[in-house]
């Protein structure tokens, strides 16, 4: 391609800059860490508290202070890998102060997704920052029989440690047998407190 075809800017041919012994070799790809699905396990019957219908809401935190966290969770069947629609996804966590608790629930859509607006959770002393999640399958909201799967969803310490200043940013994330670690990214990489986006896929039914 000539210079005039690119607005006067020369185009560098990558292969031309390599010798013949390396030009035909595939370039190495950076290693990518594929996030694992979180596994929620079946809860004991009777261990789930009843839920008032007013807690079925997308906005979990309301006007509570804290760093905004938009949370997207997908629920899949562990055996088939298919989305679980019509399940009640119930989340709760400490508020930003660590003294109170916020809770809310959504019904998953046809593709298994539910979304929440909340705040970055507060930390219990000496513990990782986590959101407790429960998935209720069956007539939970109507007071009927249902099966519940539960587990913790952890905020990566690289994020949590920078927000609350209690743990070094390089602290290792938990490796739980139940639950998993959220994928969290800042809306503004230069300012974590401008808001966070969190997502995870959970499996139930094992």
Whether residue 18 is predicted with pLDDT greater than 60 in this model: the reply is: no
Q: What's the pLDDT at 165?
A: 79
Whether residue 167 is predicted with pLDDT greater than 70 in this model: the reply is: no
pLDDT band at 148 (very low <50, low <70, confident <90, very high): very high
Q: What mean pLDDT is predicted for residues 103-123? A: 96
Has residue 148 been placed in a domain?
A: yes
Has residue 47 been placed in a domain?
A: yes
Structure tokens at 32: 């990518």
Whether residue 121 is predicted with pLDDT greater than 80 in this model: the reply is: yes
Q: How many CA atoms lie within 13 A of 200 on its CB side?
A: 27
Q: Which of the pair, 36 or 141, is modelled with greater confidence?
A: 141
Has residue 111 been placed in a domain?
A: yes
Q: How far is CA 152 from CA 38, 93, 144, in A?
A: 9, 10, 25
Chain segment 97-107, per-residue pLDDT in tens: 888 999 999 99
Whether residue 20 is predicted with pLDDT greater than 70 in this model: the reply is: no
Chain segment 51-92, per-residue pLDDT in tens: 788 899 999 998 999 999 999 999 999 999 999 999 999 999
Whether residue 135 is predicted with pLDDT greater than 80 in this model: the reply is: yes
Q: What's the pLDDT at 203?
A: 96
Q: What's the pLDDT at 206?
A: 72
Using DSSP, state whether 149 is helix, strand or coil: strand
Using DSSP, state whether 182 is helix, strand or coil: coil
pLDDT band at 146 (very low <50, low <70, confident <90, very high): confident
Q: What's the pLDDT at 26?
A: 43
Which of these, 104, 95, 175, 112, lies nearest to 133 by C-alpha position?
104
Q: What's the pLDDT at 6?
A: 42
**Number of folded domains that form the chain:** 1
Q: What mean pLDDT is predicted for residues 31-56? A: 75
Has residue 125 been placed in a domain?
A: yes
Domain that holds residue 62: 38-204
Q: What's the pLDDT at 170?
A: 54
Has residue 13 been placed in a domain?
A: no
Q: Which of the pair, 152 or 175, is modelled with greater confidence?
A: 152
Using DSSP, state whether 159 is helix, strand or coil: helix
Rounded CA-CA distance 35/74 in Å is 13
188: left (phi over 0), alpha (psi -120 to 50) or beta: beta
Using DSSP, state whether 176 is helix, strand or coil: coil
Has residue 16 been placed in a domain?
A: no
CATH classification of the domain holding 55: 2.60.130.10
Has residue 155 been placed in a domain?
A: yes
Has residue 10 been placed in a domain?
A: no
Whether residue 14 is predicted with pLDDT greater than 90 in this model: the reply is: no
Other CB atoms closer than 10 Å to residue 104's CB: what's the count?
23
Whether residue 5 is predicted with pLDDT greater than 50 in this model: the reply is: no
């Amino acid at each position: 391609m000539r210079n005039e075809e690119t607005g006067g800017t020369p185009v560098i041919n990558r292969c031309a800059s390599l010798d013949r012994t390396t030009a035909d070799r595939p370039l190495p790809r950076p290693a990518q860490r594929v996030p694992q699905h979180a596994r929620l396990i079946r809860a004991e019957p009777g261990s789930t508290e009843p839920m008032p219908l007013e807690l079925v809401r997308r906005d979990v935190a309301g006007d509570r202070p804290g760093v905004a966290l938009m949370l997207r969770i997908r629920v899949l069947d562990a055996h088939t890998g298919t989305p679980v629609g019509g399940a009640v996804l119930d989340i709760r966590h400490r508020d930003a102060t660590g003294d109170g608790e916020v809770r809310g629930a959504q019904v998953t859509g046809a593709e298994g997704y539910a979304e929440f607006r909340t705040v970055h959770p507060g930390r219990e002393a000496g513990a990782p920052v986590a959101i407790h999640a429960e998935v209720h399958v069956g007539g939970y909201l109507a007071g009927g029989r249902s099966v519940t799967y539960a587990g913790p969803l952890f905020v990566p310490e690289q994020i949590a440690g920078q927000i609350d200043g209690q743990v070094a940013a390089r602290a290792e994330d938990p490796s739980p047998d139940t639950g998993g670690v959220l994928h969290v990214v800042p809306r503004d990489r230069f300012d974590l407190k401008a808001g966070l986006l969190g997502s995870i896929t959970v499996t139930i039914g094992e």
